Amino acid sequence: MAEPLNRQDMAKQAAADAAAAIVENGMLVGLGSGTTLRRFVRSLGKRCEAGLTITGVPTSESTRALAIEVGVPVADLNDVGELDLVLDGADEIDPQGQMIKGGGGNLLWEKIVATAGARFVAVIDDSKTKDVLGKFPLPVEVVRFGWRATERLIRGLLVESGYLEPAITMRGGLDSPFVTDSGHYILDCALGEITHPDALAIALNRIPGVVENGLFIDIARSAIVGQPDGSIRTIAYD
Ligand code: 5RP
């Protein structure tokens, strides 16, 4: 028997169902990753079963597998043009629509798909809206070769940027590090409050060995925010 949904699950489901409802026939749709987006993909699968014709471009191997399982047709990003719509979750989103993503370890593919789309809609439960980004540790995807040297450079940048003694941890732990779909490691940087996310995102990506960081700047056009009572609200970003 299925487990009863807790309040956050109810909020995620509400956002996921509302997101599935905005997908239109014929669209090329970026399919995000994470628990909220898994609910969305299942919801979209039901719409496809009922006759909706779309093509999905997944942001992770796990989303690809789920989409195929529930009957959402998928294509490789290399085989399609600009996506009409990208739907994805977020770990945090601020009032300007700037986000931290990568809690599920998919930030690189997620950012590539997000920026390949004409419109990005964040699909989130209400715990993800924040006044300031940074309580959620910022994921930074790094190449495995020389990752300790890359970590030192990241630490140096963070200290120089005013984050005193930032805690940087290897996702999954040193004994069995998490490896992304592209074969990289993730370093999670606990920063507390990110004061200038745009500048930090650019500076991090200049460090040799950094593949991508979890700051998604000027990408979200709107958000569908699910509430625990099953209702949703939408937020538009300029
Ligand atoms: C995965 C992500 C997810 O979108 C983010 O972690 C939100 O996940 P969830 O819906 O499980 O809260 O960025 O890399």
Among 36, 42, 98, 224, the mutation site with the greatest number of ligand 1 atoms within 8 A of its Cβ is: 36
Q: How far is the CA of 55 from the CAs of 27, 67, 159, 165, in angstroms?
A: 7, 10, 44, 46
Residue pLDDT, tens place only, 190-233: 999 999 999 999 999 999 999 999 999 999 999 999 999 999 99
- Does the CB atom of residue 36 touch ligand 1 within 6 A? yes
Q: Are residues 121 and 54 in the same domain?
A: yes
Structure confidence at residue 4 (pLDDT): 81
Is residue 237 in a domain? no
- Does the CB atom of residue 59 touch ligand 1 within 6 A? no
Atom of ligand 1 nearest to the CA of 88: 4
pLDDT of 3 above 80: no
Q: Are residues 46 and 152 in the same domain?
A: no
- Does the CB atom of residue 17 touch ligand 1 within 6 A? no
**Is 69 an active-site residue?**
no
State in Å: Cα 89 to ligand 1 middle. 5
d(CA 75, CA 47): 18
- Does the CB atom of residue 188 touch ligand 1 within 6 A? no
Percent of the chain at pLDDT exceeding 70: 100
Task: Locate 57 and state its tokens.
Answer: 């471009």
Q: Are residues 88 and 18 in the same domain?
A: yes
Is residue 236 in a domain? no
What is the mean predicted confidence (pLDDT) over 33-45?
A: 98
Number of domains composing the chain = 2
**Catalytic residue (one of 110, 141, 151, 212):** 110
Q: Are residues 197 and 92 in the same domain?
A: no
- Does the CB atom of residue 125 touch ligand 1 within 6 A? no
Q: Are residues 222 and 122 in the same domain?
A: yes
Residue 53: domain span: 7-129+218-229
Is residue 65 in a domain? yes
pLDDT of 81 above 80: yes
pLDDT of 180 above 90: yes
Structure confidence at residue 173 (pLDDT): 98
Task: Evaluate whether 55 touches 110 at the Cβ level (below 8 Å).
Answer: no
Q: Are residues 95 and 147 in the same domain?
A: no
Q: Are residues 107 and 204 in the same domain?
A: no
Task: Evaluate whether 190 touches 184 at the Cβ level (below 8 Å).
Answer: no
Is residue 118 in a domain? yes
Task: Locate 209 and state its tokens.
Answer: 């060995």
Is residue 234 in a domain? no
Q: How far is the CA of 206 from the CAs of 142, 177, 186, 201, 210, in angstroms?
A: 12, 24, 16, 9, 7
User: What confidence tier does 50 reach under pLDDT thresholds 50, 70, 90?
Assistant: very high
Residue pLDDT, tens place only, 106-156: 999 999 999 999 999 999 999 999 999 999 999 999 999 999 999 999 999
- Does the CB atom of residue 107 touch ligand 1 within 6 A? yes
Q: How much is the pTM?
A: 0.96
Burial class for 165, CB neighbours closer than 10 Å (0-12, 13-18, 19+): exposed
Is residue 73 in a domain? yes
State in Å: Cα 132 to ligand 1 middle. 18
pLDDT of 2 above 80: no
The secondary structure element, H or E, covering residue 189 is strand 185-190
Nearest CA to ligand 1 atom 8: 34
Q: Are residues 158 and 194 in the same domain?
A: yes
Q: Are residues 201 and 170 in the same domain?
A: yes
